Amino acid sequence: MTHLVALWATLAIITALATLYVISLMEEFAEQYFIPRTFIGLILLPLVNVDGTSALRMAMRGQMKTTIDICIGSSIQIIAFVIPLLVLIGWISGHQFPLLFGIFEIITIFVSVLLTSDLLKDGRSNYLKGLILLSVYVVIALASSQL
């Protein structure tokens, strides 16, 4: 049992170090190529996360319910757990992390939730719904690159 705890702690430390390394590379990349941080956070990072690749793999296998569960579950997990945890960590460490969102973020979240819930309420998917969601993603990407 202690071996599992030690392994888990080691993996957590390695993951944290890898995350810090990726963040430092992203900051350097953003400065070098004049890419806004908002664009990186909203568009590039979600494309390369583990949940996104798992969802893509399931979608390619035709398991759409699992794909939707992964995507929605990941979003709920971030909203319900990660953001409050970051606020608490910031409070403990003396760094401010207020949940003050700008008008762009509020509109983006509102439209995304409204559109996703409307398109998923019947439990079916088709190419048109996918195209609508991708179109909104592209609009958000273009809008965030102008910030």
Q: Which pLDDT does position 142 carry in this prediction?
A: 86
Written as tens digits, the pLDDT of the chain (147 aa) is: 788 888 888 877 887 677 678 777 877 888 888 888 777 777 777 766 666 678 888 888 988 888 888 888 888 887 887 778 778 877 888 877 777 888 988 898 899 889 988 888 887 778 898 899 889 988 988 888 776
Q: Which pLDDT does position 50 carry in this prediction?
A: 61
Judging by beta carbons within 10 Å of its beta carbon (0-12, 13-18, 19+), is residue 56 exposed, middle or buried?
Answer: middle
Ramachandran bin of 62, using left for φ above 0, alpha for ψ from -120 to 50, beta for the remaining angles = left
Per-residue buried b or exposed e for 3-36, using 16+ beta carbons within 10 Å of the residue's own CB: eeeeeeeeeeeeeeeeeeeeeeebeeebeeeeee
Q: Which pLDDT does position 110 carry in this prediction?
A: 92
Q: Which pLDDT does position 48 carry in this prediction?
A: 66
Cβ–Cβ < 8 Å for 130, 120: no
Three-class SS of the chain:
CHHHHHHHHHHHHHHHHHHHHHHHHHHHHHHHHCCCHHHHHHHHHHHHCHHHHHHHHHHHCCCHHHHHHHHHHHHHHHHHHHHHHHHHHHHHHCCCCCCCCCHHHHHHHHHHHHHHHHHHCCCCCCHHHHHHHHHHHHHHHHHHHCC
Q: Which pLDDT does position 47 carry in this prediction?
A: 67
**Cβ of 51: how many Cβ atoms within 10 Å?**
15
